[in-house]
């Protein structure tokens, strides 16, 4: 409901064509004329879905100090759009590949400490939290960041899974599904997901740029729906599904597609104390060892839609 005339969100610019310069005329009047006055509009009859596809820019830093990520508007006949599903499986060692794991009993464990949550660095936030795209590296203007302001991927409480360097452009467009096989030493905990476009090092960004695209969270005690509270059994393996906001992005040749799994993003989401006490009534916090499984029988993965 605001910011339509801007070409940027956070530290990322999407190009001059990204701005909606006259939302009233270009969208509202057009829509009401079509519905109420029976005006003929081929866009609204044959291609009624209009979305913005991010990416395709040169990746340089523009005159305002923002990453030139680029993008374009396009019209679609349906949503979700046609295209094949791409399953990317978590692998031992942090790889993300199309191949289902063939090994047995492999997993990755980290310790989530609610006293030291992962700081929120942009995203689809509002009000007091900076929104938009940012390099996923701590800095002093983000709550919870601490010197020496390292990349989030260096934290011991974040699991990183990423593809090899892409040999061709990869355009994803549509809903995202995440399937996790997970366990915890606590009676309740959270699991978070974040999708990232990893830029390679360049003259403007010597360490590269790790651009957040979309994210989601599941609170294990509400894994079966927000109206059903059901604590978990410590050590038991659960299969959970997450549905981050849909996205559309061009991962350019030379980039990587990355997934971060953790258990917090504060202040984007409230901190789970891991105690299993009712929300808002916990009087203490405990650490939890949280585990993601990625073997043949328990193949954690992200499912994306590839654009045709």
Query: What is the pLDDT tens value at each position of the chain, 308 positions in all?
Result: 567 899 999 999 999 999 998 888 878 888 888 889 877 776 778 888 999 999 999 999 999 999 999 999 999 999 999 999 999 999 999 999 999 999 999 999 999 999 999 999 999 987 778 999 999 999 999 999 999 999 999 999 999 999 999 999 999 999 999 999 999 999 999 999 999 999 999 999 999 999 999 999 999 999 999 899 999 999 999 999 999 999 999 999 999 999 999 999 999 999 999 999 998 899 999 999 999 999 999 999 999 999 87
Predicted pLDDT of residue 186: 99
Spans of all domains in the chain: 8-76, 85-305
- Give the dihedral of Cα atoms 274, 126, 69, 212; nearest 10 deg: 0
CATH architecture classification, 85-305: Sandwich (2.60)
Stated pTM of the model: 0.96
Predicted pLDDT of residue 52: 97
Catalogue the E-assigned strands of 5-80. Answer: 8-9, 12-13, 49-54, 67-68, 71-76
Q: What is the pLDDT of residues 216-246, one digit of tens each?
A: 999 999 999 989 999 999 999 999 999 999 9
> 183 burial class (0-12, 13-18, 19+ CB within 10 angstroms)?
buried
Distances (CA, A) of 156 to 159, 188, 271: 8, 20, 17
Q: In the structure encoding, which two tokens stand for residue 64, read together? A: 């305002």
Predicted pLDDT of residue 1: 56
> 11 burial class (0-12, 13-18, 19+ CB within 10 angstroms)?
buried
């Amino acid at each position: 409901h605001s910011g339509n005339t801007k070409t940027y969100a956070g530290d990322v610019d999407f190009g001059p064509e990204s701005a909606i310069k006259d939302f009233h005329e270009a969208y509202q009047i057009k829509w009401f004329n079509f519905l109420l006055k029976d005006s003929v509009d081929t866009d609204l009859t044959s291609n009624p879905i209009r979305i913005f596809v991010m990416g395709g820019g040169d990746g340089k830093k523009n005159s305002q100090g923002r990453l030139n990520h680029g993008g374009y508007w396009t019209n679609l006949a349906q949503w979700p759009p046609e295209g094949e599903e791409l399953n990317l499986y978590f692998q031992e060692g942090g790889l993300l590949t199309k191949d289902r794991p063939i090994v047995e009993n492999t997993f990755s464990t980290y310790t989530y400490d609610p006293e030291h949550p992962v700081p929120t660095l942009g995203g689809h936030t509002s009000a007091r939290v900076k929104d938009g795209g940012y390099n996923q590296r701590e800095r002093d203007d983000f709550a919870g960041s601490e010197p020496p302001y390292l990349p989030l991927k260096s934290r011991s409480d974040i699991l990183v899974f990423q593809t090899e360097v892409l040999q061709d452009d990869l355009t994803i467009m549509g809903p995202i599904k995440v399937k996790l096989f997970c366990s915890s030493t606590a009676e309740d905990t959270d699991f978070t997901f974040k999708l990232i476009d990893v830029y390679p090092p360049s003259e403007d960004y010597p360490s590269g740029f790790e651009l957040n695209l979309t994210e989601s969270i599941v609170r294990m005690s509400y894994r079966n729906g927000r109206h059903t509270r059901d604590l978990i059994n410590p050590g038991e393996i659960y299969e959970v599904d997450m549905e981050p906001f849909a996205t559309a992005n061009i991962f350019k040749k030379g980039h990587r597609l990355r997934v971060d799994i953790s258990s917090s993003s504060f202040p984007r989401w409230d901190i789970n104390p891991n105690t299993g006490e009712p929300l808002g009534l916990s009087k203490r916090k405990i650490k939890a060892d949280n585990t993601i499984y990625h073997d043949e029988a328990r193949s954690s993965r992200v499912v994306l839609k590839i654009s045709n």
